[in-house]
């Protein structure tokens, strides 16, 4: 899909008669509308599938318009009655929340130190950090697994939370954002008797608030959706996270035919991220744009 001739920056437009300008405007919208449909239809289909009975799943692509009375919440009821799903949901919420708090705290504190202080070992530390940023995470897997084994952390959440608290990307992100905190403000804070820790919490963090929101959302999405590492270290099905549980559920023969329950599970797995996005949307777009400009 290349940008069509109609897709040129409008500010370069010449004066045109109103009818041809209307045509251009309409043409501009067509690829956008098609794209938006392609992006949203799978989600709409998913929502419809969760509300249908087993028979209607195969009879109607979307909703049974002539029999709307047949719509049901049975799929959700069946799903939540299963022992597994609600447990995976709880696990995922616990892990993603804890992980996000850990990562955001550690990264903002460390990023603050990197941006606003000079200290011994700073340069070598940042050089090594930069180097690891270039490596694909998967190369760590074998070494990390071995370490988890020696620590006895296999099948425990420590194996996910403790190594996951490290975010080199987050450190650099906060370093960049906090370098814009004026030094005068920090000095003024010191004169007023703020400890360095309070300078971080009361001065620096509020200034980079949009960054905090954006990074919180990014981290939450990342942890919520992570699959490979939990799959490696968690063995007990009761400890599974949603991606693991759902991937397994999908292979069960009972859901091959009656996939409404599976779709209900998928919807409930996506929903928390969607809600969080709505709450933090403004910060996220702002954080994204500042990142992109600097990128």
Partner 1 sequence: MSDSSIADSAASPSRWWAWQSRYSPYLFVAPFAILFCTFMIYPLTRSFALSFYKTIGPRDSRFVGFENFKFLIADRLFWLAAANTIGYAIVFPLLQIPAALGLAVLLNSKRVRAKPVFRFAFFSTHLVGSVFAAVLFAQLMSPRSGLLNHFLSQLLRRPIEVNWLSDPNLAMVSTLIAGLWLSVGYAMIYFLAALQSVDAELYDAAAVDGAGNWATFFHVTLPGIRPVLIFMILVTTIGAFQLFELPYVLFQQSAGPLSRALTIVMYLFMSGWSVGDLGYASAIGWTLVLLIVTVALVQRRISTKLEES
Told to check if 10 binds partner 1 by CB under 8 A, we report yes
Q: Which is nearer to partner 1, 51 or 263 (CB)?
A: 263
Structure tokens belonging to residue 91: 């696990």
Q: Judged by CB under 8 A, which stretch of 40-48, 64-72, 77-85, 206-214 contacts partner 1?
A: 40-48
Q: Which of 77, 123, 149, 209 binds partner 1 (CB under 8 A)?
A: 149
Structure tokens belonging to residue 201: 């919490």
Under a CB-based contact definition with an 8 Å cutoff, are residues 260 and 49 in contact? yes
Shortest reach from residue 260's CB to partner 1, in Å = 10
Told to check if 141 binds partner 1 by CB under 8 A, we report yes
Q: Judged by CB under 8 A, which stretch of 27-35, 63-71, 72-80, 83-91 contacts partner 1?
A: 27-35
Told to check if 295 binds partner 1 by CB under 8 A, we report yes
- Site track for partner 1 across 176-205, x = CB under 8 A: -----------x--xx-x-xxx--x-----
- Site track for partner 1 across 108-137, x = CB under 8 A: -xx-xxx--xxx--x--x--xx--x-xxxx
Task: Please spell the DSSP secondary structure of 126-138, one letter per residue.
Answer: HHHHHHHHTS-GG
Structure tokens belonging to residue 74: 């049975």
User: Which letter does DSSP use for residue 182 in this model?
Assistant: -
3-state helix, strand, coil in the chain (%, to 5): 80, 0, 20
Q: Judged by CB under 8 A, which stretch of 56-64, 68-76, 77-85, 205-213 contacts partner 1?
A: 56-64
The Cα 69–Cα 204 span in angstroms is: 56
Q: Which of 17, 39, 65, 184 binds partner 1 (CB under 8 A)?
A: 39
Told to check if 169 binds partner 1 by CB under 8 A, we report no
Binders of partner 1 among residues 264 to 293 (CB under 8 A) are: 266, 269-270, 273-274, 277, 285, 288-289, 292-293
Type and span of the H or E element at 167: none
Taken as a whole, the chain contains a residue count of 295
Give 194's contacts (C-beta < 8 A, 6+ positions apart). 202, 203
Structure tokens belonging to residue 264: 């209900």
Phi/psi at 258 (5° precision): -100, 80
Q: Which of 52, 56, 57, 99 binds partner 1 (CB under 8 A)?
A: 57
Told to check if 69 binds partner 1 by CB under 8 A, we report no
Under a CB-based contact definition with an 8 Å cutoff, are residues 167 and 107 in contact? yes
Told to check if 63 binds partner 1 by CB under 8 A, we report no
Q: Which is nearer to partner 1, 187 or 209 (CB)?
A: 187
The Cα 95–Cα 102 span in angstroms is: 10
The Cα 51–Cα 267 span in angstroms is: 11
Q: Which is nearer to partner 1, 156 or 248 (CB)?
A: 248
Q: Which of 40, 155, 179, 180 binds partner 1 (CB under 8 A)?
A: 40
Residue with tokens 């620590």: 151
């Amino acid at each position: 899909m290349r940008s069509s001739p109609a897709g040129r920056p409008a500010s370069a437009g010449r004066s045109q008669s109103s009818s041809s300008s209307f045509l251009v405007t309409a043409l501009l919208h067509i690829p956008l509308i098609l794209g938006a449909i392609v992006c949203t239809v799978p989600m709409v289909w998913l929502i419809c599938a969760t509300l249908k009975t087993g028979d209607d799943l195969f009879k109607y692509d979307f909703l049974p318009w002539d029999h709307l009375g047949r719509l049901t919440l049975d799929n959700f009821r069946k799903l939540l009655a299963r022992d597994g799903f609600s447990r995976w949901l709880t696990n995922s919420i616990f892990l993603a929340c804890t992980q996000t708090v850990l990562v955001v705290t550690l990264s903002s504190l460390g990023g603050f130190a990197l941006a606003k202080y000079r200290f011994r070992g700073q340069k070598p530390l940042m050089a090594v950090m930069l180097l690891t940023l270039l490596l694909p995470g998967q190369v760590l897997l074998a070494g990390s697994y071995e370490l988890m084994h020696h620590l006895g952390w296999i099948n425990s959440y420590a194996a996910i939370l403790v190594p996951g608290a490290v975010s080199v990307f987050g450190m650099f992100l906060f370093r960049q954002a906090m370098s814009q905190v004026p030094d005068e403000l920090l000095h003024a804070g010191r004169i007023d008797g703020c400890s360095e820790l309070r300078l971080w919490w009361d001065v620096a963090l509020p200034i980079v608030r949009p960054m905090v929101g954006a990074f919180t959302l990014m981290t939450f999405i990342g942890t919520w959706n992570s699959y490979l590492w939990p799959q490696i270290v968690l063995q007990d099905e009761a400890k599974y996270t949603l991606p693991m549980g759902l991937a397994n559920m999908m292979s069960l023969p009972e859901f091959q035919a009656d996939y409404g329950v599976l779709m209900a599970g998928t919807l409930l797995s996506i929903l928390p991220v969607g809600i969080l996005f709505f709450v933090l949307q403004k910060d996220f777009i702002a954080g994204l744009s500042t990142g992109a400009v600097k990128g």
